[in-house]
Amino acid sequence: MIDAKLAGIARQYDELQSELARPEVSSDPDALRRLGRELSRLQPVVDAFRHLQDVRSQLEGARELRDMEPDEELRSMAKQEVAELEGAEARILEELKVLLLPRDPNDDRAVIMEIRAGAGGDEAALFAAELLRMYLRYAERHRWPAEVLSTNETGIGGMKEAIVQVSADGAYSRLKFEGGVHRVQRIPVTESGGRIHTSTATVAVLPEADEVDVQIDERDLRIDVYRSTGPGGQSVNTTDSAVRITHLPTGLVVAIQDEKSQHKNKAKAMSVLRSRLLDLEMEKQREAGSALRKSMVGAGDRSEKIRTYNFPQDRVTDHRVGMDLHNLPGVLDGDLDRLIDALVMADQAERLQALVEEDAPSA
């Protein structure tokens, strides 16, 4: 059964490659993007399947030699080769089980991240600014283009809110695990008594939506322009460059003012609005399917505390997988891969277990 499924995926991959080579496709950016995403999703499965076919071909020859060869020494060598190839076959099949798991259809997308100060006043705003820097450094480590679309700063270097665009295909597959409530425990710089305070910030991770993904009727929008406020150079308070877009059916509001150009601010605001509308639709689908499966690391529930950054003990704790790292400065400098890898593995293990339970015969 698995072989037939793999053969079908290989055929689909070859058909997509043929479609990609057509002249009319090469001049269509949307089609190129769609096909590129689909090919990159299928390629690991196809590569593993072709490796499996190669190993099985070698295994067939080794078994024949083991069973038919009269020379004892050659038979012994063939037995050893059979054992090694059987081990390789088993490892590839395990790899394919993971690759064939139902994937999040948004995993290949870029992301919009929204970071907001939570409970804790000025200290929460300072922590939100540190989280913003952490994700910018993480993107830099992966050579992912990242742009801060909007900020709402406080007077002491803190951040009430920041919106970041990470324009890298596949960024969502990693950063989606960062959505939720982040908690910090430390002595604030403003605290004269040396007491440890607890503050929070929230992170929302939205898959970036293309225009073809979310159709927005211009009649459903109210667009206001106004003068920028806060730091920003000569254009601040002199031109109506800031843009606020209200989506009337949902009440969603996006305001962008960081660019000097009204057109650029509108384009960025529309990008954020599309991503929020896509996330809204995803949330409806999650609620509709919540009875089927609730993933401890993949549901993206932003109301739950997911991670604690404890400064006195130099410890970062991810509560979803019970993982402690004593490298807080490194994590805040963007060294997040150990945490995210653990979350990816836990998510895969849970989905594999769910698949096993679904396939198990009922008593």
Q: Residues for the chain: how many in total?
A: 363
List where CATH 1.20.58 sits in the chain: 2-99
Give CATH for domain 218-285: 3.30.160.20
Among candidate residues 251, 283, 284, 252, the one with its CA nearest the CA of residue 269: 252
Predicted confidence band of residue 226 (pLDDT cuts 50, 70, 90): confident
Neighbours of 191 (CB within 10 A): 12
The string of pLDDT tens digits covering residues 148-196 is 999 999 878 899 999 999 999 899 999 999 999 999 999 987 676 778 9
Residue in this structure with the two tokens 């050659």, named with its chain if needed: 74
**Could you tell me the pLDDT band of residue 213, with boundaries at 50, 70 and 90?**
confident
Query: For 263, how many CA atoms within 13 A lie in the half-sphere containing its CB?
Result: 0
Q: What CA–CA distances, in Å, run from 190 to 56, 122, 183, 187, 328?
A: 66, 9, 18, 8, 21
How large is the C-alpha radius of gyration of the chain?
26
Give yes or no for a contact between 164 and 136, defined as CB atoms under 8 angstroms apart.
yes
CA 83 to chain centre: 39
Q: Which amino acid is at 362?
A: S
Question: Residue 128 above 90 pLDDT?
Answer: yes
Residues contacting residue 121 through CB under 8 Å, at least 6 positions apart: 199
The correct CATH number of 111-212+294-351 out of 3.30.70.1660, 1.10.357.10, 3.20.20.70, 3.40.50.300 is 3.30.70.1660
Q: How far is CA 261 from CA 190, 239, 243, 271, 272, in A?
A: 38, 9, 10, 16, 17
Digit-coded pLDDT (tens) for 12-70:
999 999 998 888 888 888 788 888 878 888 999 999 999 999 999 999 999 999 998 88
- Which residues, other chains included, contact 13 with Cβ-Cβ below 8 Å and sequence gap of 6+? 39, 42, 43, 46
Contacts of 338 (CB under 8 A, 6+ apart): 323, 325
Residue with tokens 């993971």: 98
CATH 3.30.70.1660, the chain: domain bounds: 111-212+294-351
CB of 251 closer than 8 Å to CB of 277: no
Q: How far apart are CA 188 and CA 224, in angstroms?
A: 38
Other C-beta atoms within 10 Å of 12: how many?
A: 15
Q: Kindly tell me the sign of the dihedral angle through the C-alpha atoms of 67, 72, 73, 76.
A: positive
Cα separation, 300 vs 347, in Å, equals 12
What tens digit of pLDDT does each residue of 291-331 get? 433 443 443 344 569 999 999 999 999 999 999 999 999 99
Assess if CATH 1.20.58 describes domain 2-99.
yes
Residues of CATH 3.30.160.20 domain(s) within the chain? 218-285
Distance (Å) of CA 324 to CA 303, 318, 347: 21, 7, 18
